[in-house]
Every structure is written in structure tokens, then in C-alpha cells.
Amino acid sequence: MSKSGTMDHKCPNCSAVLKFSPHGQNWVCEYCKSSFTKKEVEAYEKKRGVEELTKDTKEDKLETNWDGANIYTCPNCGAEIVADENTTATFCVYCKNTAILKNKLVGAFNPTKIIPFYKTKEDAIAAFKKLMKGKILMPRLFSSQNSIEQIRGIYIPFWLYDYEASGNITLDATRVTSWRSGNYQITKTDFYLLTRGGSMAFNRIPVDGSTHFDNDIMNSIEPFDYDKLVPFNHSYLSGFLAEKYDVDAEAASADALKRAHNSAIDVLESDTNIYTTTSVKKDELNITIKTNEYVLLPVWLLNVKYKDKIYTFAMNGETGKIVGNIPIDKKRAVLAFVIPFLVTMLVCTIIWLLMGGSFV
């Protein structure tokens, strides 16, 4: 493939670049203001001769720069686009239009399904501002719009696993009861050995397939509504960034297996709440993977700069759930402690004086 191995989606009316609209779940042209359904976009792309990226085709050698990054040509303005090995959709720094990198979306790297974005950039900004409200210990300038360095809508590669679990667990349990008898407080502890068993199925356990994104953050914005998964089509990438996985299905399955195992134990322990304490003594669970699926899920990433440090916030591009770490202003933290303390001391002093107290 030549270094021009990119594609975009053109407006059937004016040939400008189309972008996917999360709110309308359609494709819009920012120039002539036309909008199109998925069927209309596919029909026009077929007429243009844009191939479907579903077959395992041989990846031709690309031109690379000095650090090994691939070089492409923007399909809109002809400028050079530099992308790393895992990028599948990016932006041209000159015309700002999406460039979908065709050779990165074939064979094993062709997702089976995708959840399109349902939340917009404006939704992400509004969610960030809402998250900042009421945070009295937060630095004053942290939530300023000017502090937002970058907002990116990115399709993150995920593996979804289906597991079956069966077997037994043995638990040590206690039940503590307490009562008074005359002047004595009596406490009684009973000890039990419990066995719980059964079989269950876990569907679509997600694991982040990219090392570029923090797993704790990706886990925190769950869940996604997997009923909104649709067959993958590259047109959904228009207007967004996207990456392919660099953690394969076998490597990622360890995290899914751990989640399935912990969830199975939680289910089996769910009817032991009548006991004061429980702990697993013996684990005889067998968990087997049934299927796995490679999908793309929508995430908005906001980078906020404060005192030369970048704080990353992530928002689920389907549900709008947002997470991130908020810094604490040390001066405000001290005042939050000192002011209530001084007010309390003043009130106590006034009450003491009113009750006849005096200073010697």
C-alpha cells in the first residue's frame, strides 16, 4: 500500500467530509448541513468504489519516518499524516478532517462490533463541569474551561468474553450474638462450615485491549449497554480517533478470568449475609471460556492541566458516566479544618460565659 492508504467519507451533495453525529445517530455535513442515514452513506460509498474492510488482505509496506511511525496522506488535503502502529483513525493537523487508516482495519484487527458515540464533546464538557461542582477543596482555577488542554473522542479496543463457571466453595463463617444478663454483657460466637455450589454463565466481560489507556480508568466508566452494539462499519469512525488492540485475546483473558472468578464467588456468597463473618476456605470452581469478541467502545478523554501536571478524566461515550482524580488545594484544606474549629471554640466560649463562666 502506498503512503496514501487512508479513506474518509464524502457528502453525496457537496463532497465535503461527513462526520458521525452522536445525538442524531446519523452522518452530517458541516458545510451544506445535509444529514444521511447509514444506508445512504453505504450506498454512496459503494458508488464511489470504497471497499468494505472485512477481508483479511495482505498489508503492504508503508513509508516510515525516523522513529518507525507510519506515514499516510490525508485524503482531503494531501498533507502527510504520521501515525503510530496502533492508530486506526486519526485527524489531519492541517484540515482537521478524519483519516481512517485502511490497512489497520483488516484481518484479525477488524472489529466485529462497535457501540457508536451517543455523547458529544459538549456533553463531555458539561459532565466535567458538573463533576467539579461542590468540590470545596478543589483548586479554584482547576475547573476553568481554559484548563482543559485536550478533549478527544476515542474508540477504545475491548475484548468481550463469555464464561461458564461451575463447582463449589467452602467457607468458614461466624455468627455473633450479644445480650445483657444482670450486670453482665454476654457475647456468644458460633462457628460454621458452609458449602455453596452451582453453575452460572457470564456474558460479555470486558477487558481493555490497549496498553495506552489506564485499566483502572476504563473499568471505572463501566458498564456499557451491550444491547447497543452494532456490526462494525468504518463510517462510525468519522470525526473520532480510534486504536487497534496491542493486547491479544489470550493475554487479555487473564483479567476476564479473574473478574469471572470473583463474580462467581460473590454470587455463591450472596445468601450468607445472615452470618457475621465469612471467608473462603476452599475453592473448587472451574471456569471455562466459551467465546471472545473484538469490539470498539466509545470514550471521551479530557486532559486538564494544573501547575504543569496533566489530570486525565474519562467519560463513557454511551452512558455519560465520568471519572477522574481531582487535586486538592492545600490552603483550602487547612482552612476547611481551621474555620469550623475556630467557630466551634467561639460558640463554646459564648455558651460558657452565658452560663456564668469568667476569665481569671
Residue 61 has pLDDT above 60, yes or no: no
- Percentage of the chain exceeding pLDDT 70: 73
Same-domain check for residues 173 and 314: yes
Range of the domain at 100: 6-109
Across 120-129, 165-174, 178-187, which has the greatest mean pLDDT? 165-174
Say if residues 143 and 129 touch (Cβ distance below 8 Å).
yes
Same-domain check for residues 167 and 312: yes
Residue 338 has pLDDT above 90, yes or no: no
What HEC string does 286-317 produce? EEEEEEEEEEEEEEEEEEEEECCEEEEEEEEC
Same-domain check for residues 315 and 211: yes
Report the b/e string of 74-101 with b at 16+ CB within 10 A.
Answer: bbbeeeebebeebbbbbbbeeeebbbbb
Does 116 map to a domain?
A: no
Q: CA neighbours within 13 Å on the CB side: how many for 147? A: 21
Same-domain check for residues 153 and 277: yes
Residue 145 has pLDDT above 70, yes or no: no
**168/170 Cα distance (integer angstroms):** 7
DSSP state of 360: -
pLDDT of residue 309: 80
Same-domain check for residues 182 and 240: yes
**What is the total count of domains within the chain?**
3
Same-domain check for residues 32 and 146: no
Q: Greatest CA span in the chain, whole angstroms?
A: 97
pLDDT of residue 339: 67
pLDDT of residue 57: 44
Cross-strand partners of 115: none
**282/171 Cα distance (integer angstroms):** 7
Q: What is the pLDDT of residues 5-46, one digit of tens each?
A: 566 788 899 888 889 999 999 999 988 999 999 898 888 887
Query: Can you tell me the mean pLDDT for 64-79?
Result: 56
pLDDT of residue 96: 59
Does 1 map to a domain?
A: no
**12/17 Cα distance (integer angstroms):** 10
Q: What is the pLDDT of residues 287-326, one digit of tens each?
A: 998 999 999 999 999 888 777 788 889 999 999 999 988 7
Query: Can you tell me the mean pLDDT for 96-115?
Result: 76
DSSP state of 64: B
Given the C-alpha cell 463457571, which residue does it identify? 165
Same-domain check for residues 105 and 144: no
Q: pTM for this structure?
A: 0.78
Residue 1 has pLDDT above 50, yes or no: no
Does 184 map to a domain?
A: yes
Q: Please, which contacts does 274-279 make with residues 24 or more away whose CB atoms are closer than 8 Å?
A: 274/175, 275/173, 275/174, 275/175, 275/192, 275/194, 276/173, 276/174, 276/175, 276/176, 276/189, 277/173, 277/174, 278/171, 278/172, 278/173, 278/194, 279/171, 279/172, 279/173
Q: Is 21 exposed, middle or buried (0-12, 13-18, 19+ CB in 10 A)?
A: middle
